Chain A
Amino acid sequence: MTAALRASGLCKRFGEFRANDGISLEITAGARQALIGPNGAGKTTLVNLLTGVYAPSAGDVYLGGERVTSLAQHQRVQRGLARTFQINNLFAGLSVLDSVLIAICQRRGLGARWFQSLRGLLEPEREARALLERLRLAAEAELPARQLPYGKQRLLELALGLATGPRVLLLDEPASGIPAAESREMFEVIAALPREVTVLFIEHDMDLVFRFAERVSVLVAGRLLVEGTPDEVARDARVREVYLGQGEP
């Protein structure tokens, strides 16, 4: 079966520094996969390579079997690959509803319509409000993003990713900075996503990883160390060494 997302020998060098070194990774359709690793391992770099923010020094990216390595970021999004950011990357002055509408209009091919009034687009607005409802942001729909508390901003970050209608969703530490109870809620929303959406998330919180991930990939110093079910990875000696400093390198 064709993998939903595949990286083949991806490398990214910044001068002499190898942020990602020969990463080959396959994510099956409908998977709930976690990407873990110590700080500086290159996880966000990998996401940037997969989404097209960086051009790889070597290697390829395949989305649903199609080679997308030379495609720009927005083109990959249009083919169903979306991502969220580790640090909130929102539209400070735009309302929550408007922010989400941008993505929805774009997906529906309305993004370039300059003669149509936004308020007249009932379907997109309905879809936007439904999405906000699912993410418990409906009450804040008219507020500008900068006025939201941090936890709600994180939810908006997720909403922006979902609004693009992705087949594959890359989440970069979606729960970072949020207290445990709220992050559990957010992950329940993620887990409730239909199986048509493949999810890869970067996380540091092992509790969340074990609760929601079906497969785990471990990235260390720019290389994939181990891949397997959460239990397999937890028992792997190399992983324990990296995280806890036990045993020989």
Chain B
Amino acid sequence: MRGVPKSVRDLSFWLLPVAGFFAFPDYLVLGSQMLIAGLFALSLDLCLGYAGIVSLGHASFFGVGAYTAGLLALHGWHEPLTGLCVASLAAALAGLATSFLVVDRQGLTRLMVTLGVGFLLHELANRASSITGGTDGLSSLELDPVLGLFRFELSGKVAYLYAGGVAFLAFVFVRRVVRSPFGLSLQGVRENAARMPALGVPVRRRLIAAYTLAAALAGVAGALNAQTTGFVGLETLGFERSASVLIMLVLGGAGRLQGAFLGSALFLVAQHLLSEQSPAFWQFWLGGLVVALSFFARGGLLGALDALLGSLRRRGLAPAGGAGAGP
């Protein structure tokens, strides 16, 4: 693998969703969900895996994006791509507004603030039911064809390609960001926030930028969700969604970009298979998995893979080069 440029290595995993399109034509709806969840987890990776901000309220921005896209579609603006942009902007503004609360705090206080903002928005959406539809949500959203050509239909083909295309672009974008000087400074903040001011870095400004960017991307994921499913509900803002995206990211491996997609895919497949028996069954084993993760596999699946490759390499059994897209 050594001769292959890193960009090819990092992007090659996108062959899997492409293959999936042809291999599993009956599961494209699930596939779209996996791509959207992956994008959502990617946005959290920027926040958590690179900037080191642990957030239990990231669904706030997913929800803002979802409701913005949903409301636009409901009130006459049916063009999906511009709807996506506006939703992202709305989420970015929400992120910017709340970033000031988050970046200055540490530890439990910061966690509480992210949690609080999430619950606040959820409650707000619940109360403003005349706008948001309350517990019923916004449904039967109609959208124009993507790029004027591809109409959303029941088999989910267009939705899959649309979500996949957007997720791919977002991935390329985020990859660029983390391999930039800005991305490096974020990692510096994650590794040792106290040292950064001593290097002349305005930490607060960097974190606000990272948090806002993460919020914008989460908003894109939320809008995609609204547009491809035609529905927006309160659960887009709920704690469950914030907790599950965190689990997906850690499962795949935080700080490694592809980990976000890997974790989401695994999570949703497992959920699909296991919750058929009973939701409580799924929840129990999910809880157990998360407990195990916190003890044994803190780097998630990609981290475990890296460790495995490392030990194989030491025994001369595997070539050099690592898993994941760390810079």
Q: Which residues of A contact B (CB under 8 A)?
A: 51-52, 72-74, 77-78, 82-83, 85, 89-94, 98-99, 101-103, 105-107, 110-119, 121, 160-161, 163-164
A-B contact pairs, 13 of them (CB 8 A): A74-B202, A77-B199, A82-B198, A83-B198, A89-B195, A90-B195, A91-B188, A91-B191, A102-B185, A112-B181, A112-B182, A114-B176, A118-B327
* In the complex with contacts A74-B203, A101-B184, A112-B206, A91-B197 CB distance below 8 A: no
Task: Give chain A residues whose Cβ lies under 8 Å from the Cβ of B180.
Answer: 113-118
Q: A121-B181, A160-B195 are in contact. Are A94 and B188 (CB under 8 A)?
A: yes
Q: Which residue of A lies closest to B177 (CB)?
A: A114
Q: Classify the interface of chain B: helix, strand, loop or mixed.
A: helix
B137–chain A nearest beta-carbon distance, Å: 35
B192 part of interface (Cβ distance < 8 Å): yes
| Residue B200, interface by CB 8 Å | yes
Which one, A91, A106, A161, contacts B192 given CB within 8 A? A91
Taking a contact as CB atoms under 8 Å apart, the answer to whether A73 and B197 are in contact is: yes
Residues of the B chain whose Cβ atoms lie less than 8 Å from the Cβ of A103: 199-200
**B185 and A105 contacting across the interface, CB-CB below 8 Å:** yes
A90 vs B254: C-alpha distance in the bound complex, in angstroms? Answer: 21
What B residues does A163 contact at CB under 8 A?
199
Q: Indicate whether A164 sits within 8 Å of B194 (C-beta atoms), given known contacts A94-B187, A112-B206, A114-B180.
A: no
- Please tell me if the beta carbons of A78 and B200 are within 8 angstroms of each other in the complex: yes
Shortest beta-carbon distance from A75 to chain B in Å: 8
Given contacts A82-B198, A91-B192, A101-B184, 4 further A-B contacts (CB under 8 A): A74-B197, A77-B198, A115-B180, A160-B195
A119 to B327, CA, bound (A): 9
Given the complex of chains A and B, what is the CA–CA distance between A65 and B201 in angstroms? 23
Q: Which 6 A-B pairs have the closest CB atoms?
A: A77-B200, A73-B197, A114-B182, A91-B191, A105-B181, A103-B199
A162 nearest CB across to chain B (Å): 11
Q: How far is the CB of A77 from chain B (nearest CB, A)?
A: 4
Give chain A residues whose Cβ lies under 8 Å from the Cβ of B194. 89
In the complex, chain B residues whose CB is within 8 Å of the CB of A121:
181
Question: CA–CA, A77 to B202, complex, Å?
Answer: 10
- Residues on A with beta carbons closer than 8 Å to the beta carbon of B179: 117-119
B182 touches A113 (CB 8 A): yes
Distance (whole angstroms) from the CB of B269 to the closest CB of chain A? 31
- Whether the pair A110, B198 counts as a contact (CB closer than 8 A) is no
CB proximity of A62 to chain B, nearest CB, Å: 19
Q: Report B-chain residues with C-beta under 8 Å of the C-beta of A78.
A: 200
Residues on A with beta carbons closer than 8 Å to the beta carbon of B203? 74
Which residue of chain A lies nearest to B182 when distances are taken between CB atoms in the complex?
A: A114
* B176 contact set on A, CB distance < 8 A: 114-115, 117
Q: Is B183 an interface residue (CB 8 A)?
A: yes
**B209 interface hit (Cβ, 8 Å):** yes
Q: Which of A111, A114, A161 sits near B201, CB closer than 8 Å?
A: A111
Q: In angstroms, how far is the closest chain B Cβ from the Cβ of A37?
A: 22
Expressed in whole angstroms, the minimum distance between the Cβ of B180 and any Cβ of chain A is 5
Assembly CA distance A161 to B200 (angstroms): 10
Kindly list chain A residues whose C-beta atoms are within 8 Å of the C-beta of B327. Answer: 98, 118
How far is A117 from B202 in the complex, measured between Cα atoms in Å? Answer: 20
* Cβ distance B186 to chain A, nearest Cβ, rounded Å: 9
B32 CB to nearest A CB, Å: 29
The complex places the Cα of A161 from the Cα of B199 at a distance, in Å, of 7
- B200 contact from A106, A112, A114, A115, Cβ within 8 A: A106
Measured between C-beta atoms, what is the minimum distance from A115 to chain B in Å? Answer: 6
Q: Are B191 and A92 in contact (CB under 8 A)?
A: yes
Taken together as a complex, chains A and B put the C-alpha atoms of A119 and B184 apart, in Å, by: 11
- Which B residues touch A113, using CB under 8 A? 180-182
Chain B residues, Cβ within 8 Å of A82: 198, 200
Q: Report chain A residues within 8 Å CB of B183.
A: 114, 118
Say yes or no: B192 contacts A102, CB within 8 Å.
no
> When chains A and B are docked, how far (Å) is the Cα of A83 from the Cα of B194?
13
Chain A residues with CB below 8 A from B192, complex form: 89-92
B191 touches A73 (CB 8 A): no
A93 CB contacts on chain B under 8 angstroms:
187, 191
Contacts of A118 in B (CB 8 A): 179-181, 183-184, 327
Known: A90-B195, A112-B182. A106 touches B177 (CB 8 A): no
